[in-house]
């Protein structure tokens, strides 16, 4: 009996040979799948893209052409003597927008500022100017005070050649008044520093038709294409511009 007890005690006192339980490595995480846009979002984006392209195409191809009216003269319009207008240029081009003397010229033309009151008349024309076959830029901001104190009824916003005619009342304007606002001499025989001399002379075209009357009194009507040239017959633009594609809403 004593021997059995001893052997059992020996068995109980033996240290365990098993080591600590090994920890399992964490399972590898699957890579996250990239988020895919929902079909609804794709449809919305596609619709917006189609709308943008449609608007661009509309503005590109749905431009308003010029009419075929030709020259119209307004003999009742009173024009100041060009020689008495302050800041009037009688030199060769290029000509800037003529801000010096602008306020005094507007007073001589009896033009009220457009900064106050509503607009009853708002139409546009396009003007091309050529001197000896070279196109002259019609500058931006003709008739616009840089300090924002006054705005002429006849003015430009950019160098496209588009004339903006705006008035609080329904009235008529003529081409000579626009050149007076610009501050460039424009008579029946002179443009800036150039006057008729032999084969060199002033010629004006409206919607492709040559004006044979008083060019200072050519009416400014909606979507008119005006070409003012000085030089010889051979220096005329070929072909004479007879229409301009006005952007929508102009």
List phi, psi (to 5°) of 204: -130, 140
In a domain, 176, yes or no: yes
The C-alpha angle with vertex 211 and arms to 210 and 213, in degrees rounded to 5, equals 155
In a domain, 39, yes or no: no
82: pLDDT confidence band, cut at 50, 70 and 90?
A: confident
> Which residue range is the domain that position 107 belongs to?
82-235
Q: Is the model more confident about 13 or about 137?
A: 137
Number of domains in the chain: 1
Is the distance from CB of 209 to CB of 187 less than 8 angstroms?
no
In a domain, 204, yes or no: yes
In a domain, 64, yes or no: no
In a domain, 70, yes or no: no
Q: Is the model more confident about 48 or about 204?
A: 204
pTM of the model: 0.75
Segment 129-145 mean pLDDT? 97
Does 117 have pLDDT greater than 90?
A: no
In a domain, 99, yes or no: yes
Using DSSP's 3-state secondary structure scheme, residue 106 falls into helix
Segment 127-151 mean pLDDT? 95
What is the pLDDT at residue 34? Answer: 57
What distance in Å separates the CA atoms of residue 204 and residue 229, rounded to the nearest whole number? 6
In a domain, 136, yes or no: yes
What distance in Å separates the CA atoms of residue 236 and residue 204, rounded to the nearest whole number? 10
In a domain, 49, yes or no: no
Does 61 have pLDDT greater than 50?
A: no
Place of tokens 């008119």: 224
What distance in Å separates the CA atoms of residue 111 and residue 151, rounded to the nearest whole number? 9
Considering only CA atoms, give the Rg of the chain. 40
What is the pLDDT at residue 18? Answer: 53
């Amino acid at each position: 009996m004593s021997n059995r007890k001893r052997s059992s005690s020996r068995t109980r006192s033996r240290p365990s040979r098993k080591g600590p339980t090994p920890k399992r490595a964490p399972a590898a995480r699957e890579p996250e799948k990239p988020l895919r846009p929902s079909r609804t979002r794709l449809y919305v984006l596609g619709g917006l893209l189609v709308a943008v392209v449609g608007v661009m195409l509309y503005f590109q191809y749905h431009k308003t052409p010029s009419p075929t009216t030709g020259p119209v003269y307004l003999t009742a319009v009173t024009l100041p003597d060009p020689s008495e207008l302050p800041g009037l240029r009688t030199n060769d081009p290029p000509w800037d927008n003529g801000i010096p003397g602008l306020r005094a010229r507007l007073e001589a033309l009896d033009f009220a500022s457009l900064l106050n009151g509503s607009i009853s008349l708002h139409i546009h024309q396009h003007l091309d100017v050529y001197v000896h076959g070279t196109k002259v830029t019609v500058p931006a901001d003709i008739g616009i005070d840089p300090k924002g104190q006054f705005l002429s009824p006849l003015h430009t916003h950019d160098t496209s050649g588009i004339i903006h005619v705006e008035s609080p009342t329904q009235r008529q304007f003529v081409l000579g008044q626009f050149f007076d606002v610009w501050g460039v001499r424009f008579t029946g025989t002179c443009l800036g520093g150039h006057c008729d001399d032999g084969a060199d002379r002033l010629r004006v075209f409206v919607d492709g038709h040559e004006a044979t009357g008083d060019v200072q009194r050519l009416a400014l009507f909606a979507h008119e294409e005006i070409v003012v040239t000085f030089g010889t017959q051979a220096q005329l633009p070929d072909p004479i511009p007879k229409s301009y594609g006005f952007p929508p809403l102009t």
